[in-house]
Amino acid sequence: MIKVTIDDIEIEVEEGTTILNAARMIGGDVVPPAMCYYSALPGTGGKCRTCLVEVAAGSTKDPRPMPKLMVSCSTQVMDGMIVKNKTSERVIENRAGVVEFLLANHPLDCPVCDQAGECDLQNLGFENGKEATRYEEERRTFEPIDIGDHIKLNMNRCILCYRCVHVANQLTDQRVHGALHRGDHTEISTYIEKAIDNDFSGNMIDVCPVGALTDRTARFKSRVWFLNPMNATCECTKCSGKAVVWMFGKEVYKVTTRQDKYGEVEQVDGKPQWLCDECRFDKKDVSKWTIEGARHIDRHSVISQGHYEKPNPLDNKPKNIK
């Protein structure tokens, strides 16, 4: 066990832990935001630069500060390391710059985008970004395309986090999509349109921090804040069957994986609870799901408006009355 200090809070962690994960153990404001790192997908991280932190002292043996800001999602902690996140002016200023870069080519089409309301980039921009844009050049644009029967790819909104590529690599048999071209010409795509039909490829929708990959079966159906997220399970041989069904009245509008407070898929005993495509896209009927109860939504989220965690609207028998 080694000791690290993050924003003046000391914590003991195991060797090999990254700064980001050590900060998540403390929780709260100390945690740097992350757009590309995804705990359930090994190999992610290091691309978006939003999690940069200042290392004021490298370790007890070598207490010199690291000259540049470090990527907290892939830098491992050392004994006696002192990390500054929210307490460092440099980090705050730098993060605002990173947000500006991420938004440079991002279209401001939040009113149209299905991800609005549960978008990591919106939260990031709101918490760390600047109020106005300075970007005057023409943004790069693509036509939205269908990759597979169920997934819409809108490359305009992509921030190139590569999470979806890792999903395809690690969860599905054959990866049929990836990054084409290089540098600022990079785009996520498939060689052949509608090529994606793997069983677990729907998970790339949940993994996508922005609205680049969206569910075609729920396309433009409703905005997230009008829906009621409910924890539900179903019996499935392929996946865990643990999901969140987003309901409008008694209709199921969309099905997603259960996500923790960092927007990452929930893990049970170290196993990520991914959903198969059948559960996600084809079970749009309440009778196919066992509703456990309302999903807990943070009260600061727009989704919490009109969302009541008690009682269960599908429960016809009131429990409190005996």
Partner 1 sequence: MQSLTNRSKMVSDKKMTFLEKLYLPAIFGGMIITAKHLFRKNNTIKYPEEQRVFAPVYRGQHVLKRDEQGRENCTACGLCAVACPAEAITMVANERKKGEEHLYREEKYAEVYEINMLRCIFCGLCEEACPKEAIFLTDRIVKTDDNRPDFVYGKDRLVEDVNNRIDVSRRQLTGKRKEK
Q: Which residues in this chain contact partner 1 in the complex, by CB under 8 A?
A: 109-112, 116, 144, 219-223, 225-226, 302, 305
Please, which residue, 267 or 305, has the CB nearer to partner 1? Answer: 305
Least separation, in Å, of the C-beta of 304 and partner 1? 11
Least separation, in Å, of the C-beta of 288 and partner 1? 24
Of 199, 202, 181, whose CA–CA distance to 191 is shortest?
181
Please, which residue, 82 or 252, has the CB nearer to partner 1? Answer: 252
* CB 83, CB 4: distance < 8 Å: yes
Least separation, in Å, of the C-beta of 232 and partner 1? 24
Least separation, in Å, of the C-beta of 223 and partner 1? 4
Of 228, 242, 296, whose CA–CA distance to 272 is shortest?
242
Please, which residue, 162 or 281, has the CB nearer to partner 1? Answer: 281
Please, which residue, 112 or 268, has the CB nearer to partner 1? Answer: 112
Least separation, in Å, of the C-beta of 214 and partner 1? 12
Please, which residue, 110 or 176, has the CB nearer to partner 1? Answer: 110
Least separation, in Å, of the C-beta of 113 and partner 1? 9
Please, which residue, 31 or 113, has the CB nearer to partner 1? Answer: 113
Exposure string (b/e) for 205-229, b if CB count within 10 Å is 16 or more?
A: bbbbbbbbbbbbbbeeeeebbebbb
Please, which residue, 290 or 305, has the CB nearer to partner 1? Answer: 305
Residues 105, 140: Cα–Cα separation, whole Å: 6
Pairing status of strand 70-71 against strand 52-57: antiparallel
Least separation, in Å, of the C-beta of 254 and partner 1? 14
* Token reading at 32: 């740097």
Please, which residue, 9 or 110, has the CB nearer to partner 1? Answer: 110
Least separation, in Å, of the C-beta of 248 and partner 1? 10
SS (H, E, C) 39-106: CCCCCCCCCCCCCEEEEEECCCCCCCCCCCCEECCCCECCCCEEEECCCCHHHHHHHHHHHHHHHHCC
**Count of Cβ atoms closer than 10 Å to residue 173 Cβ:** 10
* CB 163, CB 44: distance < 8 Å: yes
